[in-house]
């Protein structure tokens, strides 16, 4: 069965990556994006929380 990929409009982080952390690098975002893709997410919007 095939289905369209999921687009997540609120991702605060994934796979050990936290977008709220100021030390997050572009490489970290790529790790997150690749892990999300493996989980079936076709696209995502990186977001941060208003408080830790």
Print the domain residue range for 42. Answer: 6-46
Q: Is residue 52 part of a domain?
A: no
Contact 13, 50 (CB under 8 A): no
pLDDT tens readout for residues 22-49: 999 999 999 999 999 999 999 999 999 8
Give the total number of structural domains in the chain.
Answer: 1
Contact 49, 20 (CB under 8 A): yes
Per-residue pLDDT tens over the stretch 3-22: 888 999 999 999 999 999 99
pTM of the model: 0.84
CA distance 8 to 3: 15
Tell me whether residue 39 is in a domain.
Answer: yes
Please state, in angstroms and rounded to a whole number, the distance separating the CA atoms of residues 49 and 11: 10
Task: Tell me if 41 sits within 8 A of 7, measured CB to CB.
Answer: yes
């Amino acid at each position: 069965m095939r289905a369209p990929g999921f687009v997540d409009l609120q991702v605060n982080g994934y796979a050990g990556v936290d977008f709220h952390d100021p030390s997050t690098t572009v490489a970290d975002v790529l790790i997150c994006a690749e892990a999300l893709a493996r989980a079936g997410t076709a696209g995502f919007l990186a977001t941060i929380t208003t408080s830790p």
